[in-house]
């Protein structure tokens, strides 16, 4: 039986932060939709900063629903512009793409303990570009960038990324 409703695009979001020994708390908001990764640097986990980051991400990616954790940064989830769902506490397997993306970023670029105040948004854009350009068996040997273009989740690439987007 065929459905008349289009497939919903679901995204997962999460944050990771600088270690407690760092002078300031910096965070990275991360969203993964269709295995396409985008990241935004934030000065702290304030809900207003997360709201700004999510609205900025919403201008780049098209997604219909979002899964988050119950962190303080997600208090203003009503302002994100999409229906948001929350994981159970201590249940990272309920948002595996976000957790997997954090694992890749940590393994390849920003090991645990890295002070994120020393990382620029341009660095994060480069890391996302490299990971999105990686060919994956699970995507039929396409990159996440190619799969995202085909599925229509990319609205527009920001100028800071579009210049050297293809690898």
Residue 91 burial by CB count (10 A; 0-12/13-18/19+): exposed, middle or buried?
exposed
At a CB cut-off of 8 Å and minimum separation 6, what does 159 contact? none
* pLDDT tens digits, 35-67: 899 999 988 888 888 888 988 888 888 888 889
The Cα 103–Cα 159 span in angstroms is 27
What does pTM read for this prediction?
0.82
Under the banding of pLDDT at 50, 70 and 90, the label for residue 167 is: very low
What residue ranges define each of the domains in the chain, with the CATH number in brackets? 10-162 (3.30.420.10)
The Cα 36–Cα 43 span in angstroms is 24
* pLDDT tens digits, 118-140: 899 999 999 999 999 999 998 89
* 117 closest CA partner among 26, 17, 11, 33: 26
Backbone angles phi, psi at 50, to 5 degrees: -65, -40
């Amino acid at each position: 039986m065929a459905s008349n409703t289009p497939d919903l695009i679901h995204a997962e979001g999460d944050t990771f932060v600088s270690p407690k020994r760092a002078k300031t708390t910096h965070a990275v908001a991360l969203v993964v939709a269709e295995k396409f990764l985008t990241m935004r640097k934030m000065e702290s986990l304030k809900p207003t900063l997360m709201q700004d980051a999510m609205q900025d991400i919403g201008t780049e990616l098209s997604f219909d629903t979002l899964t988050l954790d119950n962190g303080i940064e997600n208090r203003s989830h009503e302002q994100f512009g999409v229906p948001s769902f929350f994981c159970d506490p201590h249940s990272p397997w309920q948002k595996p793409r976000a957790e997997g993306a954090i694992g890749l970023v940590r393994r390849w670029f920003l090991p645990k303990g890295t002070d994120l105040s020393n990382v620029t948004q341009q660095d994060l854009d480069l890391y996302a570009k490299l990971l999105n350009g990686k060919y994956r068996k699970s995507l039929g040997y396409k990159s996440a960038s190619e799969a995202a273009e085909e599925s229509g989740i990319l609205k527009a690439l920001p100028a800071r990324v579009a210049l050297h987007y293809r690898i």
